[in-house]
Structure 1
Amino acid sequence: MQNRLVLTATVEREEDLRYTPAGIPVVQMWVRHQSRQTAGGFERDVACEIQAVLIGEDARRYAGKLAGNTVTLTGFLSQRSLKNPRLVLNIEYVEFVKG
């Protein structure tokens, strides 16, 4: 079963395009989400900042074009590495929000 996360957020910071030792393009970024959600029948304001990573040809395509933009991201959460349990959003699809 594949579970995907869909999140609309603003790209607060974007690092420069880099390449892994295997030559795979990678862009690291931090995104900020703010919304109003209902939980247990009560509305509440939600805000968070999440580290995200875009890998492959989309990293090359979007490098330098994301910071400051609001985007809808589709992907999955994973830990940063085997030794670092911090969550990272692995982006599979990017859609710019018009506005």
Structure 2
Amino acid sequence: MNHVELTARIAEASPLRYTPAGIPAANFVLEHASELVESGVTRQVKLTVKALAFGTLAEQTGRLALGKSFRFTGFLVNARGSKGVVFHIQAFYPVSEQVLNPL
């Protein structure tokens, strides 16, 4: 199963664009920072990931403020022409700021 759930801040957002088929699309860069326990040791985790949303969701995410935290759900695909991955956003939910560690 390819399902990702990530709490992150929107670090960058490109203007809304349209695919050749006329579907709205929005590109983002998301940043995550937290502390996790791995093998009994607390570890600082930081992550930056490219993200993409299509359709009505792209229109909604295009109005979100930079720096705000959200819980994003979706899936990962290989980035076109590179070895990296892109997080395709399927849903997002507001998150209370006190839940997150500052970046």
CA-CA distance at 1:96 after TM superposition: 1.4
Q: Where does residue 9 of structure 1 map in the other structure?
A: 8
TM-score for both structures, normalised by structure 1 = 0.89
State the TM-score, normalizing by the size of structure 2: 0.86
> Once the two structures are superposed, what CA deviation does each residue of 1:34-93 show, in whole Å capped at 9, x if it has no partner?
011111221100001111111111101221324221010001111112x32211111111
Which contiguous aligned blocks of 4+ residues in structure 1 show a shift greater than 2 angstroms?
Answer: none
Per-residue CA distance 1:14-50 (angstroms, 9 max, x = gap): 0000000000111100011001111122110000111
The percent of aligned pairs where both chains have the same amino acid is: 30
2:42 aligned residue? 43
1:61 corresponds to which residue? 60
Q: Which runs of 5 or more residues in structure 2 are unaligned? A: 98-103
Q: Secondary structure at the match of 2:52?
A: strand
Partner of 1:92: 90
RMSD: 1.3
Aligned residues: 97
